[in-house]
Amino acid sequence: MHIPQALTIAGSDSGGGAGIQADLKTFQELGVYGMSVITAITAQNTAGVQGVYPIELEGVVTQLHSIGDDLQPAAIKTGMLFSADIIHEVAIAVRQYQWNTLVIDPVMVAKGGSVLLQQQAIQALIRELLPLAAVITPNVPEAELLTGSTIHTLKEREQAARQLVQMGARAAVIKGGHDTSTPQAMDVLFDGKQFHYVEYPRVDTPHTHGTGCTYSAAMTAELAKGNGLLQAVQTAKAFVHAAIEDGLGIGSVHGPTNHFAYRQRRAVR
Ligand SMILES: Nc1ncnc2c1ncn2[C@@H]1O[C@H](COP(=O)(O)OP(=O)(O)OP(=O)(O)O)[C@@H](O)[C@H]1O
Ligand SMILES: Cc1ncc(COP(=O)(O)O)c(N)n1
């Protein structure tokens, strides 16, 4: 039996809703064997981030080699990378091990405002990692920082997605989770040739901690199974929407999403 395998390179969230924890739960829920390279430990809960502790560079590099020298992830995602040095080492490993199906979630700040990517690392992300991406999945503020343009309208989101492809990514998804002016949570995918629009109704909930991580992890899992990009994005959107809609009510502030929801809904159908 062939088991699809995927790797996440990201930060640990002690609260379990975002980062490595969200990624591995999502991989598992979608029937994919998950592996991890941890870039930083965060002390975090539903109220916010209480501390950020980057892993020593050598520790990140050794984890990358442990995976690359033995295991064969069919798809890889990056989340919180924290520093330019870590980005540099990840880019080297991606090229060395030919991790061509690379999903970049350019995590920059947590929902509560804590910095998860140092300011000076943004240029390294653009220069070294973005050109290796099968797809990059910024939210609007992240897309603005990556492209240097302001984004208000749908046209501007499309332009930003196109620009990210011109900058070297093979595809870009600009997420609409932050745009509360519309009743739909609509994401724009530019696959290098055409635009696709993936949408579900916006859920009125404060429990959206880790939505971006969960979405990009679900995309990575679907790509690891050999699915095409549009199908992977559509399944990921269904997965994250179910996870938001069936929130768990865990924690006192911005709770995690429900990683069981997609599988449970399919089981009762
Ligand atoms: N309230 C909501 N209702 C429905 N869908 C949502 C909602 N919030 C986010 N989404 C969807 O969740 C996915 C993740 O998007 P989001 O914009 O939250 O990412 P993000 O800001 O990068 O997340 P994170 O802050 O966790 O990294 C997208 O498909 C987005 O449209
Ligand atoms: C380790 C880690 N990675 C990513 C996020 C982003 O998630 P959110 O913006 O929902 O807090 C996070 N909070 N922590």
- Does an H or E element contain 52, and which? strand 48-54
pLDDT, tens digit, 9 for 90 and up, residues 123-175? 999 999 999 999 999 999 999 999 999 999 999 999 999 999 999 999 999 99
Q: What is the pLDDT of residue 195?
A: 98
- Annotated catalytic residues are 175, 208, 210-213
Q: What is the pLDDT of residue 240?
A: 98
Whether 13 shows a pLDDT value over 90: the answer reads: yes
Cα 177 to Cα 3, 26, 54, 61, distances in angstroms: 32, 19, 28, 33
pLDDT, tens digit, 9 for 90 and up, residues 203-251? 999 999 999 999 999 999 999 999 999 999 999 999 999 999 999 999 9
**Are the beta carbons of 75 and 26 closer than 8 angstroms?**
no
User: 175 CB less than 6 Å from ligand 1?
Assistant: yes
Give the Cα separation of 170 and 260 in Å (integer).
31
Instruction: Tell me how many degrees the CA angle 62-124-71 measures, rounded to the nearest 5.
Output: 30
Band (pLDDT 50/70/90 cuts) for residue 269 is: low
Whether 5 shows a pLDDT value over 70: the answer reads: yes
Backbone dihedral region for residue 129 (phi beyond 0: left; psi -120 to 50: alpha; all else: beta): alpha
Supply the pTM of this predicted model.
Answer: 0.97
> Which of 5-9, 84-88, 177-181 is predicted least confidently?
177-181
Give the Cα separation of 163 and 51 in Å (integer).
34
The mean predicted confidence, pLDDT, of the chain is 96
Band (pLDDT 50/70/90 cuts) for residue 178 is: confident
Whether 112 shows a pLDDT value over 90: the answer reads: no
**Are the beta carbons of 21 and 29 closer than 8 angstroms?**
no
Ligand 2 pocket: which of 139, 213, 244, 250 to mutate (most atoms within 8 A of CB):
213
Ligand 2 pocket: which of 12, 14, 37, 80 to mutate (most atoms within 8 A of CB):
80
Whether 181 shows a pLDDT value over 90: the answer reads: no
Q: What is the pLDDT of residue 111?
A: 82
- Cβ burial of 133 (10 Å; 0-12, 13-18, 19+) is buried
Question: Do the bridges between strand 102-104 and strand 135-136 make them parallel or antiparallel, or are there none, so unpaired?
Answer: parallel
User: 214 CB less than 6 Å from ligand 1?
Assistant: no
Beta carbons within 8 Å of 269's beta carbon, 6+ residues apart: none
DSSP state for residue 43 in the 8-state scheme: E
**Are the beta carbons of 142 and 169 closer than 8 angstroms?**
no
Domains, the chain, with CATH or none: 5-268 (3.40.1190.20)
Closest residue CA from atom 17 of ligand 1: 177
pLDDT, tens digit, 9 for 90 and up, residues 98-109? 999 999 999 999
**Are the beta carbons of 157 and 167 closer than 8 angstroms?**
no
Backbone dihedral region for residue 249 (phi beyond 0: left; psi -120 to 50: alpha; all else: beta): left
What ipTM was reported for this prediction?
A: 0.96
